[in-house]
Amino acid sequence: LEDMKDWELAEQEVVELVQPALALDVSGHALRDNTHSESEEVREACDDITKYKGGAIIFMLHNILKDDVFKTGLVAYLSDTRGKISTPEYLWNILYEAAQETDLDLGFQSVNTIMEEWTGTSGHPTLSVTWNTTHFVISQPSSSRWHVPVTYMLQNSPGVQMAWVHPETSLLIPEINPQWILLNINQTGFYRVNYEAELWQQLMHQLNTDLTRIPRLSRAQLLDDVFALVQSGALSYDMLLQFTNYLRAETDYYPWHTALRNFQTLLDNLYGHSSYELLKQHVVDLLTKVVEDVGFNRQPQDSHMVKLKQALILERACGFNHSDCIKRSVSMLRSWMSSTYFDADLSTSLFCSGIANSQTGVWRAVWNMYQYSVFPSVRASILKALTCTNDHAVLKEFLTNITSKSASLVSLKDKTTLLQTLASRPSGAEVLFDWLLQRFTSQMNPITPEASNSTDAAPSLSVATPAPQAQENLVPESVTTPASTDNSEQTTAHSLTVRSTAVVSDPLSEDDLLTILSYILPKLTTTEQGNKLDAALALNNTGISNSTLAVMKKTALQIHQQADWASKNNANITTWLKNAAAPTVAPTVISTWATGVVGGMPTPSPSGAVQSSLTMSILVVILSFTLF
């Protein structure tokens, strides 16, 4: 087994826990709120805010107290409370007792005082950094109530230093001739940082001259803060372009993890608008060096982190239509179909692009192979890849058949995964939205038994199964040319029709309807989509409850809000991309994101790697659900 010391579990907490928590916390609730009813407390104890923010705040406390004190206090807490009911205050007091045996700087306050504010207040602070010719001035908004642990480093002073910013006070750091200052080293604190224009310029200059002077996790933190500050309107798109240009030289996993997640969110909100393709091409240009760095081949000696970076970069590069990635993905798909070897980590990254850039006959052949695969991980990868086809007719046929009650080839769990995967891409969400509306309107005008037997019934997903010895002939020579025609003639004579009869669409339950709608909502960004839902809701309804209709009307309003944001900002972003070479002296506010837009609030999801260290996993389970 590979040595897990090389898995960088603690470092992964930053991009897999802290950054998603900050994004979710923009419009979230406090971890502890005594004004809520018991039912609200139970519901909030299980939501993403509690899981992610709870873990992120414990992560911050862990870094304040350091390993030895934190572990000593945790062991004492678990020993003292075994078989007993406990309170958060009891844990904070035990940790404070352990800290008093050391010279740790807690800002002249107890752990309980610190944590009471972080768990009892919604949101998080944004620290402001300015320079007044003699000092750096670090402050938080006057309305903030947090005691903020600030780690910082100066360009001309090596090492990381630590201080506290208290409510209604500013932290002054003497500096007569500064070059740059960097806060929240390795993003161990749960807050954002906004520098004045000149200080941002100095940080950008450092990244473009020698990026190694800034720690890699801090580079990821800077990127995450810039995207968030642009989203809030505090910085401009010009600033975002300037800052992310340094990525042309970046090859580390963590900054790219952050950048690609945020770029994807921005792209999702622009799908269907003219700036979408321009932005996608811009990201492809930024990816050039790191794609060359990771390569397309897996080496036996590759570490876990090398594999993780390669999977991340190739998955996103292929998704953005990187030309080399498309060629390799189609070639890899062909090789896989003629062999039995399947590298789950690498193949999953390229599989989607291979399917998207192949003919429909190849899609059907891969579907056959899904049915005969006995390995769960391989089946899951194939199923996700099948949603990547650009043939919308095949996708709709696929959706109708796999969601049929009589469908037995796909498990309920895999159906859920498939729908979520399809909804995760704007093009897939578009297909899923149209399919969902068709099902919704047909249920509002129920199909009679006679109509069920008509030619309007859902089409069957009849596929041919190749003989095992003929699998190498499944991929046609023209596989790199996308087409919407069915190349079924290229399958062998040893065929088996899996579904030979028409399948009548089973009615969707209202819960299923709303669940699928929630999956695709973040990707619905055009006025046309909002109008389609409005039209469906305007039909005479006899079978949908008022509560479901209310949710759908609210959803339609959110779609229109997202479309308004995209329409208003599309021209600005297009100009931003076309004038990429034009420098901007200082960041300015161009526009703000519309209220209700989901973009900028990524839904955290596992990346295939272990997401947290053992200590943090225990804490999130124990503390997020029992203390908060």
Is 246 domain-assigned? Answer: no
Residue 340 has a pLDDT of 58
Q: Report helix angle 412-423 to 376-386, nearest 10.
A: 40
More confident residue, 105 or 587: 105
Give me the half-sphere count of Cα atoms (radius 13 Å) on the Cβ side of residue 421. 22
Confidence band for 133, pLDDT divided at 50, 70 and 90? confident
Work out the pLDDT band at 555, boundaries 50, 70, 90.
very high
> Is residue 210 a part of any domain in this protein?
no
Whether 442 and 348 have beta carbons less than 8 Å apart is answered as no
Q: Is residue 102 part of a domain?
A: yes
Indicate the burial class of 341 (C-beta count within 10 angstroms; 0-12, 13-18, 19 or more).
exposed
51-60 burial string, b = 16+ CB within 10 Å, else e? bbbbbbbbbb
pTM of structure: 0.81
Task: Give the C-alpha separation, 565 to 596, whole Å.
Answer: 10
Which runs of E-coded beta strand occur in 307-364?
none
State the residue range of the domain holding 74: 1-124
Q: Poorest-confidence range of 19-23, 91-95, 372-376? A: 372-376
Q: How far lies 80's CA from each of 71, 77, 101, in Å? A: 14, 5, 19
Q: What is the pLDDT of residue 40?
A: 52
Q: Per the domain annotation, does 1 fall within a domain?
A: yes
What is the reported pLDDT for 142? Answer: 77
353 CB-near residues (< 8 Å, 6+ apart):
318, 319, 325, 326, 329, 330, 388
Helix 275-286 crosses helix 546-578 at what angle (to 10 degrees)?
60
Kindly report, residue by residue over 378-418, the tens digit of the pLDDT. 888 888 889 999 899 999 888 887 777 666 677 777 888 88
DSSP 490: G
pLDDT confidence of residue 343: 64
The answer to whether residue 20 is domain-embedded is yes
Question: Residue 269 domain-assigned?
Answer: no
Question: Given CA atoms 63, 65, 70, 72 in this order, what sign does their dihedral have?
Answer: positive
Give the CA angle between residues 305, 307, 310 to the nearest 5°: 110
Residue linked to tokens 């129920």: 446
For the chain, the domain total comes to: 1
Residue 463 pLDDT greater than 60, yes or no = no
Token pair of 314 as six digits: 């190739």
Supply the mean pLDDT for the chain.
79
What pLDDT, on a 0 to 100 scale, did the predictor assign at position 237?
Answer: 87
- Whether 307 is in a domain gets the answer no
Res. 29: pLDDT tops 80: no
H-helix or E-strand containing 521? Answer: none
Q: What is the mean predicted confidence (pLDDT) over 184-199?
A: 97
Q: What is the domain-level CATH number for residue 43?
A: 1.10.390.10
Residue 295: which of 269, 249, 339, 328 has the closest Cα? 328
Task: Identify the pLDDT of residue 106.
Answer: 93
Q: Is residue 564 part of a domain?
A: no
- Give the burial class of 375: count Cβ atoms within 10 A of its Cβ; 0-12 exposed, 13-18 middle, 19 or more buried: exposed
Whether the per-residue pLDDT at 445 is higher than 90: the answer is no
Residues 154-171: what's their mean pLDDT? 91
pLDDT of residue 477: 34
Residue 37 tokens, joined: 């009813």
Helix or strand (DSSP H, E) at 64: helix 54-80
